[in-house]
Amino acid sequence: MEKLPSLNERLQEYLDDSQSKISLVKGGVVSPFSKAELKLRILCARKTFQEAGLKQGDTVIFQINAASKKAFVANFFALVSLGIAPALLTAARSKDHVTRLIRVANENPEAAIIADPETSEFIKFFWKDCDAKRLIVVPEEITEYPKDLPSEIEYADVDPKSLALVLYSSGSTSDPKGVMMTNERFLLMLKNLNIGLKTSSKDIWLQWMPLEHAFGVVTLVLIPMYYKTGAVHMDAAEFIQNPKCWFDAISKTRATKTSAPNFAYPLLLKALDGSENWDLSCIDFILNGGEPVSKKIFAEFTETMGKFGMHKDAIVPLYGLTEALGAVTFNMTHEYPELDINQISTGIDFDIQGLRDNAKDLVCQGRAIPEMQIRICDDDNKPLPENTVGCIQVFSDYITTGYLKKDSSSMFVDGWLDTGDLGFLSNGLLYVVGRKKDMFFIHGKNIYLRDIEQVVTAKYGYRCAACGVNDSAASTNSIYLFVESNEPEKVDVKKLKDLVFSEMGFGLKDVIPLKSLVVTATGKVAKQKLLAAYQEGKL
């Protein structure tokens, strides 16, 4: 692999650079986070970690709340400077989160746990027999720095093949998997992601996506550091409470690059009240990934925001994987060719007619970023020709080598990562159409749960989640549909059941209207949690 500047070489340059600014947005107020304060916080954190006995080559479980921006960034960089790999796991602020932490901690008994004061209290409350010696509590705010702090950071000389970072899944499953990334692979990923994103030192990234997830930490912590761009930090909870604060902040800070998952766009449109006075001409692009995107939503959003100066091609669909710590494809060149959907075939057991029926909402996720290869395979891992639906597999020198402390052999086929997603290539462009595990067998045929969601959304505009249950003991299969509505009592359950039956030929076990769906920190619907809550009578 080519020799690239190390994270520590770039971190040293970044802390000395006066051009790349860090800003924090809270309650509509933009405040600076100076490099001088960041450096002092890093020195303070290093002292704490060294006194606790942490050393180069260790892996620690990172439990600092992403809303504590200064503490998160400073402690993250302190670990990087020491050559210690942070394993990012959503900070435990609930019983479910602590349960996940316990699973991860038990799999990694030698790893210390770094937490902010409030998170540490949650951990101790729900994990009664937690070993206090493993728990390193770091302050969220620092009012006075130790007098014996060194004046400069001593950066570790890191082995390129050593572990740089571990990133755990977002929490939609009960079995969290830690994606490992070595230093050399991580640097190569940053280089190619930067090429794909066309980043320059004049850019300002603004994000409210959680920092402990792939795109949050990469685009708001690591790319700004490595390529000396501006960074504006917001909190996801603030966006949920007031969606307009996202574009308020962009207009104020003149941010050029941002991102959001599907649910954010209709939420912001609904919040508009006519008082907006934004100038959005600064926006270079808004990245969209995480779930298959909707043409209808994008068209409405870009048309509305065009009144504020946002250009019509601002939204950039992407296909990303935690296992690649970011993106596999970008549609940065806005290629949306006319597809003859009748020419699309399938090389696997897939409902191609369902795809054709929903073709009008099919969005192109673009081309592979540099040094990334994509192939479409059948169920026997044999490559399929273009315009044929199959299993998406990717290959690159900068994807993960596997999961931390787990058997990762089933992830790869001859070095190719099996993504678990379904799609097809057409003229080198990728179209993602669903997930393998989204397939459900009922009444003698395969049903794709996303197809049910698309049918209901297209007809009634509801955000919804279809969940399947196999009861092998009773030899029955059931599908439940959860529907989000501001007025759940007004949702016509019978109409929805009739619609699905007439369009898809089977009946739903139940339709459950809710004020809001259960989602992960990144906005994806947490289907397993949603179904479990329903089955336990908690909804």
Average pLDDT over residues 234-262: 94
Task: Tell me, yes or no, whether 282 lies in a domain.
Answer: no
**pLDDT interval class at 521 (50, 70, 90):** low
Task: Tell me, yes or no, whether 414 lies in a domain.
Answer: yes
Task: Tell me, yes or no, whether 267 lies in a domain.
Answer: no
Average pLDDT over residues 227-238: 94
Which residues lie below 8 Å from residue 151, measured CB to CB, with a gap of 6+? none
Token pair for 111: 């790893």
Smallest CA-to-CA distance from 35 within 2, 1, 77 is with 77
Shared domain check, 475 and 344: no
Rounded to the nearest 10 degrees, how much is the dihedral formed by the CA atoms of 450, 451, 455, 461?
20
Residue finishing a domain among 172, 203, 235: 235
**3-state class of 509 per DSSP?**
coil
Shared domain check, 486 and 406: no
Inter-helix orientation angle 449-460/493-504, to 10°: 120
Task: Tell me, yes or no, whether 291 lies in a domain.
Answer: no
Residue finishing a domain among 206, 235, 264: 235
Shared domain check, 78 and 161: yes
Residue with tokens 């080519």: 2
Residue with tokens 């303070």: 44
Shared domain check, 471 and 433: no
Task: Tell me, yes or no, whether 221 lies in a domain.
Answer: yes
pLDDT digit string, tens, across residues 131-176: 999 999 999 999 899 999 999 999 999 999 999 999 997 544 457 8
- Ranking 119-133, 275-289, 446-460, 502-516 by mean pLDDT, the lowest is 446-460
Shared domain check, 449 and 366: no
Strand partners, 465: 482
Rounded to the nearest 10 degrees, how much is the dihedral formed by the CA atoms of 263, 264, 265, 271?
120
Shared domain check, 516 and 413: no
The span from the CA of 301 to the CA of 318, in Å, is 17
pLDDT digit string, tens, across residues 211-226: 988 888 999 999 999 9
State the amino acid at position 36 in one-letter form. A
The end-to-end CA distance of the chain, in Å, is 52
Q: What CATH number has the domain bearing residue 76?
A: 3.40.50.12780
388-396/416-426 β-pairing: antiparallel
The span from the CA of 106 to the CA of 192, in Å, is 35
How many domains does the structure of the chain reveal? 3
Order across the sheet with 85-88: list the strands.
135-137, 113-115, 59-63, 85-88, 163-168, 178-182
What local confidence, expressed as pLDDT, does residue 367 receive?
A: 96
257-259/285-288 β-pairing: parallel
Shared domain check, 464 and 387: no
What local confidence, expressed as pLDDT, does residue 444 receive?
A: 52
What is the per-residue DSSP string for 410-453? GGEETTEEEEEEEEEEETTEEEEEEEGGGEEEETTEEEEHHHHH
Task: Tell me, yes or no, whether 265 lies in a domain.
Answer: no
Shared domain check, 498 and 412: no
Shared domain check, 105 and 42: yes
Judging by beta carbons within 10 Å of its beta carbon (0-12, 13-18, 19+), is residue 307 exposed, middle or buried?
exposed
The span from the CA of 491 to the CA of 493, in Å, is 6
**3-state class of 352 per DSSP?**
helix
236 alpha-carbon distance from chain centroid = 12
Residue finishing a domain among 177, 203, 235: 235
Shared domain check, 519 and 425: no
Smallest CA-to-CA distance from 204 within 284, 315, 281, 302 is with 284
Q: Residue 101 — φ and ψ, nearest 5°? A: -60, -45
Task: Tell me, yes or no, whether 279 lies in a domain.
Answer: no
Token pair for 32: 């600076």
163-168/85-88 β-pairing: parallel
Is the torsion defined by CA of 211, 214, 219, 224 positive or negative?
positive
Q: What CATH number has the domain bearing residue 478?
A: 3.30.300.30
Name the average pLDDT for the chain.
90
The whole domain housing 47 covers 7-235
The span from the CA of 72 to the CA of 78, in Å, is 10
Smallest CA-to-CA distance from 117 within 136, 102, 130, 94 is with 136
Task: Give the residue with greater pLDDT, 327 vs 472.
Answer: 327
Shared domain check, 393 and 464: no
What local confidence, expressed as pLDDT, does residue 172 receive?
A: 43
Q: Angle 203-205-211 (CA atoms, 0-180°, nearest 5)?
A: 150
Residue with tokens 């946002």: 310
**3-state class of 479 per DSSP?**
strand
pLDDT digit string, tens, across residues 48-75: 999 999 999 999 999 999 889 999 999 9
- Ranking 3-12, 64-73, 292-301, 397-406 by mean pLDDT, the lowest is 292-301
Average pLDDT over residues 68-87: 97
Smallest CA-to-CA distance from 327 within 294, 285, 379 is with 285
Q: What CATH number has the domain bearing residue 355?
A: 2.30.38.10
CB 366 within 8 A of CB 335: yes
445-448/326-330 β-pairing: unpaired
**pLDDT interval class at 472 (50, 70, 90):** very low
The span from the CA of 491 to the CA of 78, in Å, is 51
DSSP letter (8 states) at residue 147:
T
Task: Tell me, yes or no, whether 199 lies in a domain.
Answer: yes
What local confidence, expressed as pLDDT, does residue 256 receive?
A: 98
Smallest CA-to-CA distance from 99 within 171, 178, 179 is with 171
Average pLDDT over residues 86-98: 91
What local confidence, expressed as pLDDT, does residue 331 receive?
A: 94
- Ranking 44-58, 306-320, 497-511 by mean pLDDT, the lowest is 497-511
Shared domain check, 469 and 433: no
Token pair for 306: 């065009």
DSSP letter (8 states) at residue 381:
S
The span from the CA of 151 to the CA of 70, in Å, is 20
Which residues lie below 8 Å from residue 259, measured CB to CB, with a gap of 6+? 207, 209, 215, 219, 286, 287, 288, 289
| Range with the largest mean pLDDT of 66-80, 323-337, 502-516 | 66-80
